[in-house]
Amino acid sequence: MNLQSVPLEYYLTLSAILFVIGAVGVLTRRNAIIIFMSIELMLNAVNLTLVAFSQFFGDPGGQIFVFFVMAVAAAEAAVGLAIVLALFRNKQTVYVDEVNIMKW
Amino acid sequence: MLDLAYLIPLFPLIGFLITGFFGKKLKSEALIGGIASAAVGLSFAVAATLFFTLTGLPADARSHTTYIFSWLAAGNFNVDVAYQVDQLSIVYALIVTGIGTLIHIYSMGYMHGDKSYPRFFAYLNLFIFMMLNLVLANNFLLTFLGWEGVGLCSYLLIGFWYDRKFEGVNIRFTGDAANKAFIANRIGDFGVLIAMFLIYKTFGTLEYNAVNTAAAVAPPDAGIMTAIALLLFLGSTGKSAQLPLAVWLPDAMAGPTPVSALIHAATMVTAGIFLVARNATLFALAPDAMTVVAVVGVTTALVAATIGIVQNDIKKVLAYSTVSQLGFMFAALGVGAFTAAVFHVMTHAFFKALLFLGSGSVIHGMHEEQDIQKMGGLKKYMPVTHRTFLIGTIAISGIPPLAGFFSKDEILWMTFEHGGHGPMWIILAIAAFCTAFYMFRLYYLTFGGKERFDHHRLHPHESPVTMTLPLNVLAFLSVVGGFLGVPYALGFFASDHPNLLENWLGPIFSQANGILGRGEHHSIHAIEYVLMAASIAIATAGILLASKLYKEESEKPAELARKFKGAYNLLLHKYRIDEIYQALVVSFIYQFSERFLWKVFDVKIVDGLINGAAKTTQSAGESLRRIQSGVTQNYALLMIAGIVVILTWLAVG
Amino acid sequence: MGENNIVVSYLPLIVMVAVGFVFGLSNVFLAEILGSRRNKTNVKLDTYECGMEPVKTARERFSVKFYLVAMLFIVFDIEIVFMYPWAVKFRELGEIGLVAMLLFMALLFAGFVYVYKKGALTWD
Amino acid sequence: MLQDFLNSAPIPLLSALATLVMLLDAMKRDGARIVFGFSVFSLTAAMAAAIYTMFLPDKTTAFNNMITCGGYGAYFDIVFCLGGVLTLLAARPFLLASNTEHGEFYSLILFSICGMFLIAHSNNLLTLFIGIEVMSVSFYILSGYLRTSRFSIEASLKYFLLGAFITGFLVYGMALIYGSAGALGYNEIYQAVQGETGARFPMILLLGMGLLIIGLSFKSAIFPFHQWAPDVYQGAPTIVTAFMSTAGKAAAFSAFIPILAVLTPESSSPVAAKIGMLLAVLSAATMLVGNISAVVQKNIKRMLAYSSVAHAGYMMMGLAAGSVRGASGIVFYVTAYMFMQIGAFILISALERGSEERYQNLEDYAGLAKKHPVMAALMSVFMLSLTGIPPFAGFFGKYYLFTAAIESGYTWLTIIAVISSVISVYFYIGLIVAMYFRESDVQEQDSRPGLAGISLVISAAGVIILGVIPQFIDKIAKSLF
């Protein structure tokens, strides 16, 4: 059951795939909440990279970074939800493609 | 002590800031005018102090540069804000601040009740500040800043009453006159700018002393020197209203009269002379350019003087007189008589400011009437104005011992001695004759003879003391100012060097004089006395002719005008210079553009280039804005695309 | 040998799955055997959900106040992650660590005071 | 420990004061006036502390090398505080006019400045990340501050979604750099990049650098990551835009300079050349896109937003140059830009007086010189400076950057910069022409700027003073490196 037995590349590849899935989600979904969830997925993919490197180097710095990324993600989630709520009250929609009065 | 030079421009700057920003808050006119006048007065006090400090120093130590701060520095290119106090700049500073103070005081009376009273004084103070930067600068760039600054102030002040009617060729409002001045000056500035580039390229610096020394020690190619000198002179013709850029000055009379006196007679228009005098060495190294300067000066002097004979607007007569006198100064510069030119700048500042202020007093007393045909007999209504105006008129006509005689006679003598002995002297003598004639014509039509105005409508009155005081001071200066430059021929019995101004300015021009081969020798030529007598006789003749024609009401002038109808009309219309320019600039170019430019060049090429560039920008903007769809995810898509491209390029490329 | 190893190491998991499966199934049958057979009303046959109606429209709209509390919960909850590493290294960090954590808690408390004073926790 | 606090005084001081401001706002009902006063005091105190640390004898680090002290960071602290004070002074009349004054506004401004402090002082990827996020989250909220306005909320949503999206890339870049260098601290990264250990995963390092540059480019609105800027700057409350577009941009560049110095220690190496070329290309594209797009705008805030994109492009020239002169040029430009851009936006905010209808379009500015001569004159000063006409600050900003680019061999970049400056004349001077030479038949009631007047005068004075004695700031800027 030694984590070290799984090569670093596997973690990096997995996190890259997760990251891309998240990015694709941002580009394809219309619902602001789901877009934000996709962003969270991207952040967690990065967390995986950080933890993998941290384990690889035996340096706790990367893991500490992960904590901060999580805290920041939580703060962003709170703010994001608030913004989406305010948007819904204002325009009765959470679909981002319907929010485009400012353009050109 | 000499480090205090920065105070000279500082006070007017403070004055400008106060009157400009808090002028509206300060309700009292006396306070605003007082602050503005005091600011210039303090500058004058400082300048005078520095002057006396300089006199206490040995002649070769009378140049001091105060570095304020480094303005621009990049590599070897270094320009400081630094003020250079020396014999030339202190003379100019004294003229600017001294006459400036008097005109500020005068303006307090003249502008009384104007709705833009604070604005006027703010502009005046700003002008003084800029003018002082121009003359005190130790390098071309700072002078150029002042040069542009005075141009701006001149523009603002000509157009001060921007919605008033004003007659002129293609001019209907004073604002148009301001624009005309602006454009003519821009042409000149272009020359100065190019000259600066050339100077920097040739000498690697823009500091006056360094440039002039470098030029004297190792003169570069004569072609470059001629180019530099001619370009600088182009700038001078713009600022000092010489042919072919002289057209703007008469129209600049649209501004308030104190402005005409300060800017368009005493100070700004002599900036061109300053520029040449400051770079005397550069000009001395370019003899061809010197000839051009002399010829332009002489021609302008004559042309403007003849136009002045038939003008009927009191200020326009004075304006053409100014152009003509400036021509005298350039003629002096052109023959290498730098001291004589500066001397004439000074005396001219005295009597021309006096005449303008006097005319302002007349206009004030006549309720904005400017046509001398509708005046006459003002002698008894305005005694002080009359007396001082008469002094100014005599001074400019060149009757000894008033100031104008000495400076004008020195120029005449120098052009005779160094300018080919004959032709130039004769032309200038004719110009001098015209000067005496039109000035006395002006005097008689205004103050003498019958009253030609409507008594029921107009009640001429003497001006308040704030206006008459400067008149008296300037009149005094016009009387005694000439003794600063007594020629050796007249003063040899009192001293070996009776010409105080020449002694004073000597070190400044010694380099240039050395190049020109002028020693400091003095000798008495019999012919000098003959010429002196001749010039007095010429002036007297002009005066007598004027008094014969205009002293009493008579039909003679009208008769003459009828007899020489062609010449009269030509003069009345200023040799049709404006119309010629009109024809050249508008008609000719119009035809040219209609036939060629528009149909071939413009449609085919310019449309393809200029409009094309503008259209390309516009349409590029239009297509770029399409990318900005307003939809968040499209932005994200572009970002992703950018990220992919960048990362691929980093990884592969 | 490797294969053998894997089987051995996963054995407890297999056992746990089996036990769970057996326990679940047996409970279903036990309920049928032991339970009362009288009064089979609709209410009694319903799934037990702590008093809430189990079947109704899925598109119910919650009060926005739920979201508010949820957001506050996320923010305060996540701060706990900073306490775990501190707790693990508590002894080595010593006094400075304690002071730093107190400072951190004070900041959190300031946030709490702000939330409370702004009335974000009052339901009505 | 105590020494650390003293050396990094502005950061803990402002953090504590900002928390106090927040609590004060919660405790005092209807006490916005007091909160405002205390906020201004806090910023002034932080600025004093920054000036104090700027004159520390030597440049040190604090808290286990997490942040740097004094010097470079302190200079930026002063700039941020200045921007904050100018914004706060103008914000109060703006908020009162739109009847939306709440204490949160002030504490959010303070918190965002805390974030900027961290960015400028960061000596570790972690502090950089936290700083960026503290600033950004505050900005998300501030741009949606007028939550009943559909413009404001749309701006907020767009900014938030795109900002969070790019945060993912930014952190990914940091993770990759960490993976290559094996540490998060700048000092360790610097050594790793120079030494043999740095070659561990050169490709990962390169990709990490790319992603980090991309993340910071978004924050400073560099093409093609600029598209949020026009929408957000237009939609956000004008006073917030004033702050975001100046201090926010300054903060992004304050992060750029040290991190690039760490990542490309040898300016002659192929990696440095590659990164330099990338920055130069981004810079050129940004200037052109920003200025060309601004030409066709009708809304003044949008026009200025595009122009701010273009100015980010100018500043990036200094990064591409990669020299001390480039870096000090950026420092000067940031300072000059702070005054001229914040002045222009504050002026708009003072004119619109809380209405989202007034003074939005360029045509509304016709004849402004007759109605509000002082306002028109100030606006002209700002526009001339933005165009880069001497003797205003903007000219010297461009001058320093252009010379820096030429010295580093990017002559083509300078040519593009000059061309795009010429394009920008069209819309900057266009506004002046509209104000002075067009007539308007709309009657105007008196509108006094109130406290915003102080901000405007300070900004205009700054623009002029920097234009007259640029050497003063330039010398300071050069001494920072």
Which tens digits make up the pLDDT trace of D325-344? 899 999 999 999 999 999 99
Q: Which helix (H) or strand (E) element contains residue D136?
A: helix D125-143
The amino acid present at D119, given as its one-letter code, is I
Residues B478, B351: contact at Cβ < 8 Å? Answer: yes
**Amino acid occupying residue B618:** Q
DSSP H helix total and E strand total for chain D: 21, 2
Q: What residues in D contact B119, CB-CB < 8 Å? A: none
Q: C97, C89 in Cβ contact below 8 A?
A: yes
Query: What is the crossing angle of helices B465-480 and B403-418, to 10°?
Result: 40
B593-598, long-range: CB < 8 A, 24+ apart = none
Q: What is the nearest CA distance from C51 to chain A, expressed in angstroms?
A: 30
Please answer yes or no on whether C82 and A75 come within 8 Å at the CB atom: no
Q: Provide the pLDDT for residue D337.
A: 94
Neighbours of chain B (3+ CB pairs under 8 A): A, D
Question: Residue B434: exposed, middle, or buried by beta-carbon count in 10 A (0-12, 13-18, 19+)?
Answer: buried
Chains B and D touch (3+ CB pairs under 8 A): yes
Mean pLDDT check: name the lowest of B76-80, B511-515, C89-93: B76-80
Residue D471 at interface with chain B, using a CB cutoff of 8 Å: yes
C-beta atoms of A100 and B629 within 8 A = yes
CB contact under 8 A, A86 and D144: yes
Closest Cα in chain B to A20: B640
Torsion sign across C-alpha atoms B546, B547, B553, B555: negative
Is B391 or C90 the better-scoring residue by pLDDT? B391
Q: What is the pLDDT of residues D166-206, one digit of tens each?
A: 999 999 999 999 988 888 999 888 888 876 555 577 888 88
Q: What is the pLDDT of residues B7-23, one digit of tens each?
A: 899 999 999 988 887 87
State how far the Cα of D332 lies from the Cα of C45, in Å rounded to an integer. Answer: 78
How many CB atoms are located within 10 Å of the residue B575 CB? 14
Instruction: Tell me, yes or no, if B635 comes closer than 8 A to chain D by beta carbon.
Output: yes
Max intra-chain CA distance, chain A: 57
- Report the gap between the CA of B643 and the closest CA in chain A (Å): 12
Asked if residues D434 and D364 have their Cβ atoms less than 8 Å apart, the reply is: no
Q: How far is A82 from chain C (nearest CA, A)?
A: 8
Percentage of chain B lying above the pLDDT 70 cut: 86
CA gap D248, D83 in Å, rounded: 10
Q: Which of A33, A91, A93, A103 to mutate to test the interface with B (most CBs of B within 10 A)?
A: A103
Is A104 contained in some domain? no
At B582 the pLDDT is 60
Question: In this structure, which amino acid lies at residue C61?
Answer: R
Give, for all 481 residues of chain D, the pLDDT tens digit: 788 888 888 999 999 999 999 999 888 877 788 899 999 999 999 999 999 888 877 778 888 888 998 888 999 999 999 999 999 999 988 888 888 888 889 999 999 999 999 999 999 999 999 999 999 999 999 999 988 888 999 999 999 999 999 999 999 999 999 988 888 999 888 888 876 555 577 888 889 999 999 999 999 999 889 999 999 999 999 999 999 999 999 999 999 999 998 888 877 788 888 899 999 999 999 999 999 888 888 889 999 999 999 999 999 999 999 888 899 999 999 999 999 999 999 999 888 877 777 888 888 888 888 788 888 889 999 998 998 877 788 888 988 898 888 888 888 898 888 888 888 888 888 888 888 777 776 666 656 777 888 899 999 999 999 888 888 888 888 888 8
Report yes or no on A30 lying in a domain. Answer: yes
Decide if A97 is inside a domain: no
Contacts of B185 (CB under 8 A, 6+ apart): B151, B154, B155, B238, B239, B245, B248
Total beta-carbon pairs less than 8 A apart between chain A and chain D:
123
The residue of chain C nearest to residue A79, with distances taken between CA atoms, is: C71
Is the Cβ pair A46, D133 closer than 8 Å? no
Backbone angles phi, psi at A46, to 5 degrees: -60, -40
Q: Which two tokens stand for residue B105?
A: 């005081």
pLDDT-derived band at A18, boundaries 50, 70, 90 = very high
Q: Are A104 and B626 inside 8 Å of each other by CB? A: yes
Q: Cα distance from B644 to chain A (closest Cα, Å)?
A: 12
Bond prior to B401 in cis (omega within 30° of 0)? yes
Residue B162 confidence class, pLDDT cut points 50, 70, 90 = low
What is d(CA D347, CA D208) in angstroms, rounded to the nearest whole number?
41
DSSP D361: B
Q: Where are the alpha helices (DSSP H) in D1-59?
A: 2-7, 10-27, 32-54
* pTM check: above 0.90: no
**Residues 281..320 of D with a Cβ closer than 8 Å to A: which?**
302
- Length of chain B as a residue count: 653
Q: Which of B141, B643, B644, B647 to mutate to test the interface with D (most CBs of D within 10 A)?
A: B643
- The chain A residue lying nearest C74, using CA atoms, is A74
Chain A nearest-CA residue for B638: A27
Write down the pLDDT at residue C1: 47
Closest alpha carbon within chain D to B629: D227
The model's pLDDT over A27-71, given as tens digits with 9 standing for 90+, comes to 988 889 899 999 999 999 999 999 999 988 888 889 999 999 999
How close does chain D come to C81, measured CA to CA in Å?
Answer: 16
Where is pLDDT greater, at B84 or B175? B84
Instruction: Tell me what pLDDT residue A1 has.
Output: 42
D425 shares contact with chain B (CB less than 8 Å): no
Provide, as residue numbers in chain B, all residues whose Cβ is less than 8 Å from the Cβ of A25.
Answer: none
CB A27 within 8 A of CB B643: no
φ, ψ dihedrals at D204, nearest 5°: -65, -40
Q: For residue D358, how many C-alpha atoms fall within 13 Å in the half-sphere facing its CB?
A: 18
Using CB atoms, list chains with 3+ pairs below 8 Å to chain A: B, C, D
Domain boundaries, position A83: 8-91
CATH number of the domain at C2-117, please? 1.20.58
CB contact under 8 A, D133 and A26: no
Give a yes or no: residue A101 inside a domain.
no
Own/partner contacts of B534-540, CB < 8 Å, gap of 24 or more, are B534/B429, B535/B398, B535/B408, B535/B409, B535/B412, B535/B429, B535/B432, B536/B398, B536/B399, B536/B400, B536/B405, B538/B429, B538/B432, B538/B433, B538/B436, B539/B397, B539/B398, B539/B399, B539/B432, B539/B433, B539/B435, B539/B436, B540/B399, B540/B436
Specify the pLDDT at position B175: 66
Interface of B with D in 63-92 (CB under 8 A): 69-75
Residue of A nearest to D134 (CA): A72
Whether the CB of A96 is below 8 Å from some CB of chain B: the reply is yes
Q: Is the peptide bond before D391 cis (omega within 30 degrees of 0)?
A: yes
Binned at pLDDT 50, 70 and 90, residue B616 comes out as confident
Look at C71 and A75 and tell me if their CB atoms are within 8 Å. no
A in contact with B (at least 3 C-beta pairs within 8 A): yes
The verdict on a CB contact (< 8 Å) between B631 and A97 is yes
Residue C49: exposed, middle, or buried by beta-carbon count in 10 A (0-12, 13-18, 19+)?
exposed
3-state secondary structure B152-166: HHHHHHHCCCCCCEE
How many domains is chain A built from?
A: 1
Tell me whether residues B630 and A104 touch, CB distance under 8 A. Answer: yes
Q: Is residue A100 part of a domain?
A: no
CATH number at residue A44: 1.10.287.3510
B653 at D interface, C-beta within 8 A: yes
Instruction: Report DSSP letters for A62-80, one per residue.
Output: HHHHHHHHHHHHHHHHHHH
Chosen for mutation from A59, A83, A95, A103 (greatest number of chain D CBs closer than 10 Å) is A83
Answer whether B237's CB lies under 8 Å from B296's CB.
Answer: yes
Interface test with A, best of B632, B644, B647 (most A CBs within 10 A): B632
Test C117 with D26 for CB contact under 8 angstroms.
yes
Q: Which token pair is D156?
A: 């907020």
Give the mutation candidate from D176, D295, D307, D476 for the B interface (greatest B CB count, under 10 A). D295
Nearby residues of B244 by Cβ (< 8 Å), 6 or more positions away: B237
D61-62 and D67-68 beta bridge pairing: antiparallel
Residue B579 has pLDDT above 70, yes or no: no
Residue B576 reports pLDDT greater than 70: no
Alpha helix locations (H) across B85-218?
Answer: 87-110, 117-136, 140-158, 174-203, 208-217
Among candidates C64, C71, C78 on the partner chain, residue whose Cβ is nearest the Cβ of A70:
C78
Does A72 contact chain C (CB < 8 Å)? Answer: no
Report the half-sphere exposure of D440 (CA within 13 A, side-chain side). 19
What are the sequence ranges of the domains in chain C? 2-117
Cα of D23 to nearest chain C Cα, Å: 6
Whether residue C110 and residue D23 make contact (CB cut-off 8 A), yes or no, is yes
Burial of B426: CB neighbours in 10 Å, binned 0-12, 13-18, 19+: middle
Per residue, the 3-state secondary structure of chain C, as one string, reads CHHHHHHHHHHHHHHHHHHHHHHHHHHHHHHHHHCCCCCCCHHHHCCCCCCCCCCCCCCCCCCHHHHHHHHHHHHHHHHHHHHHHHHHCHHHHHHHHHHHHHHHHHHHHHHHHHHHHCCCCCCC
Reported confidence tier of residue C51, pLDDT bands at 50, 70, 90: low
Q: Tell me the mean pLDDT in the region B514-534.
A: 76
Residue B169 has pLDDT above 60, yes or no: no
> Mean of the pLDDT values across residues B278-291?
90
Partner residue facing A103 (CB), from B628, B636, B637: B628
